[in-house]
Structure 1
Amino acid sequence: MTKPPPAIGLRFLRPPPLSPSPISFNFSVTQLPRITCSYSSFEVRDVSYQPPGTQLRLLNSVSFSLPEKSLGLIFGQSGSGKTTLLQVLAGISKPTAGSICIQKYGNDGNPSQPPEPLVPERVGIVFQFPERYFVADNVLDEVTFGWPRHKGNHYLRENLALGLQRAINWVGLSGISLDKNPHSLSGGYKRRLALAIQLVQTPDLLILDEPLAGLDWKARADVVKLLKHLKKELTVLVVSHDLREFASLVDRSWRMEMGGNLREEFLPV
């Protein structure tokens, strides 16, 4: 948010000038500042997906929206199309029809500007068992593995370094040595590291595929607690079968039915 010029702030701190005559106030010309409550929403509009060269439609006119800084949950049977949907949202697969965008709204609830397509670079995705894909010998190299290596991106690398510090703090890894081998971390901390990698460049949408899979009860509780914090900063979409653990965090939820049909369904409290 842009800070007002110093003169504006000081104007309200300065006492009125002394005057022998009574001070009068003309309320008729006083205008209160307008307060805006604009917000953004991640929106999927009539998205279908049919793999090239096949007649099989894996997603069938999927539509849903998720306001910024909230957590959405998609659940359903295996093979219903949940992972396919995540791949389409992340840009790994291109939808056959429909659009995926960020829509901004004004305080009147109406769109304040045309929708912006959600580009893959603005999506962070953590797949199931992400620790299987760790490639580096220490935490720092793992997080920075995909960073630009040539000198022309010095400014970008500075921003990434700042983002790294923020991401490490967000996921609670500040007490872990950056020289530590990522494969020596506990299951819960491996998931934290996988999240940090995606959070260095703050995404418009963070997608998590079965984030509790393979973890013991303590690590599961730690990840749920972490997501409770992250949804205050980011828009988070989770695919999971673990409905009970996420019930207290979810703002919106949907069931994916066989045939790639998505419908909103509230979780039992």
Structure 2
Amino acid sequence: MSSNTPLVEVQDLSKTFDVSLPWLNRVLERKERLFVHAVDGVSFAIERGTTLALVGESGCGKSTVARLLVGLYEPTRGSVSFDGVDAARTLASRDGLTLRRRMQMIFQDPYASLNPRWKVQEIVAEPLREHGLVSGAGELRERVGELLRSVGLTASDGDKFPHQFSGGQRQRISIARALATQPEFLVCDEPTSALDVSVQAQVLNLMKDLQRQRGLSYLFISHNLAVVRHVADRVGVMYLGRLVELAPKAELFARPRHPYTRMLLDAIPDIHMTGRSRTPVQGEVPNPLQPPSGCSFHPRCPHANERCKAERPVLRVDATSVQVACHAVEERRI
């Protein structure tokens, strides 16, 4: 494919979960079937060698997007295209293993994502064996040693068990395992949220270094805008399964358009004591089983009017390549 083509293209991606009671309970209690639209019509693209971050409060659908991209969930609607091919169709075919080599995932909890009964050597070696990338025990051990050194550990750490490492070191092991197949694309689902702040910085710096060295592309899931500011090239803000704003990082932090983005940024502690008036995030995320009509953010929005309550906004691109889904922005009320 042309280097101008985005590595990852997502079109109208949706995932609906059936959370109904069992059939007999529904009949006896006369209850309707219940569905949650965890992801509802999300579209974006990720250029080669860049990082797109998805941010939003818990339950907005960020992690579901991550799992859809790597094939852990099947989309209800829409498509994920990887290097010009349909990812879901390819993953289900004989070429699926080849595609899985090219995209890997780093999970949120380094304590749960590593098998406690395996030594680190076996954990990092598993994808090498699975994809037939090495032949012989000597080459396998050497390759695992290289991977551990590339994430700031030593080859001798391969002889230890996960419980002998700190949280930050465990996440480095997870990164080494993800890099084993020499992927082009990493999906990072809140990879630093379980770590101390000082350790977060070390892991984020490591990921940025690896991106520069290997030309990696990242989808970075986070609820922490300070982390996003450090790693992202572009930022997508999600609310109740939909993208409400998608913008280059510098533009989003300097001139946030959507009222929800503004609220998220105002919630960041003001360490520079600028004296700027701040509006903390108001209210609670609505029940996803009964989302509000129209714009799903309107019950919490200080700029909502009757149109916001009745009509769902769509993402529109402005002159600075920022995409915003907001009637108030469109009508220049804010």
Structure label with greater radius of gyration? 1
CA 1:146/1:69 → structure 2, altered by over 3 Å: closer, same or farther?
closer
Q: Could you tell me which of 149, 157, 172 is aligned with 2:134?
A: 157
CA 1:143/1:76 → structure 2, altered by over 3 Å: closer, same or farther?
same
Residues 8-54 of structure 1: per-residue CA shift (max 9 Å, x gap): xxxxxxxxxxxxxxxxxxxxxxxxxxxx9656421111111112575
**Is 1:131–1:194's contact at 8 Å kept on the other side of the alignment?**
no
Residues 63-101 of structure 1: per-residue CA shift (max 9 Å, x gap): 001111111111001111111111111211100111111
The whole-number CA distance in structure 1 between the counterparts of 2:217 and 2:53 is: 11
**Is residue 87 of structure 2 the alignment partner of residue 102 of structure 1?**
no
Identify the residue that residue 40 of structure 2 maps to in structure 1.
60
Identify the residue that residue 119 of structure 2 maps to in structure 1.
138
Structure 2 SS opposite 1:69: coil
The whole-number CA distance in structure 2 between the counterparts of 1:163 and 1:98 is: 38
**Is residue 68 of structure 2 the alignment partner of residue 88 of structure 1?**
yes
Percent of aligned pairs with the same amino acid: 28
The whole-number CA distance in structure 2 between the counterparts of 1:163 and 1:67 is: 29
The farther-off stretch of 83-92 and 243-252 is: 243-252
* CA-based RMSD: 2.8
**Is 1:224–1:246's contact at 8 Å kept on the other side of the alignment?**
no
Structure 2 SS opposite 1:183: helix
Q: How does 1:5-16 map to 2 (within 5 A)?
A: none
Stretches of structure 1 lacking an aligned partner (at least 5 in a row): 1-35, 104-114
**Is 2:189–2:222's contact at 8 Å kept on the other side of the alignment?**
yes
The whole-number CA distance in structure 1 between the counterparts of 2:191 and 2:15 is: 24
Identify the residue that residue 252 of structure 1 maps to in structure 2.
234
Q: Could you tell me which of 171, 175, 187 is aligned with 1:207?
A: 187
Structure 1 SS opposite 2:188: strand
Structure 1 SS opposite 2:59: coil
The whole-number CA distance in structure 2 between the counterparts of 1:172 and 1:195 is: 11
Q: Which amino acid aligns with 1:126?
A: I
Identify the residue that residue 128 of structure 1 maps to in structure 2.
108
**Is residue 218 of structure 2 the alignment partner of residue 236 of structure 1?**
yes
Cα drift, residue 156 of structure 1: 3.3
Q: How many aligned positions are there?
A: 219
Larger proportion of helix? 2
Q: Which amino acid aligns with 1:41?
A: L
The whole-number CA distance in structure 2 between the counterparts of 1:261 and 1:249 is: 19
Structure 2 SS opposite 1:95: coil
Cα drift, residue 140 of structure 1: 0.2
Structure 1 SS opposite 2:112: helix
Q: How does 1:29-68 map to 2 (within 5 A)?
A: 40-51=6-17, 55-68=35-48
Cα drift, residue 262 of structure 1: 5.1
**Is 1:73–1:254's contact at 8 Å kept on the other side of the alignment?**
yes
Cα drift, residue 176 of structure 1: 4.8
Structure 2 SS opposite 1:226: helix
The whole-number CA distance in structure 2 between the counterparts of 1:41 and 1:146 is: 22
Q: Which amino acid aligns with 2:205?
A: K
Stretches of structure 2 lacking an aligned partner (at least 5 in a row): 21-33, 92-98, 255-334
Output the TM-score relative to the length of structure 2.
0.58
**Is 1:163–1:199's contact at 8 Å kept on the other side of the alignment?**
no
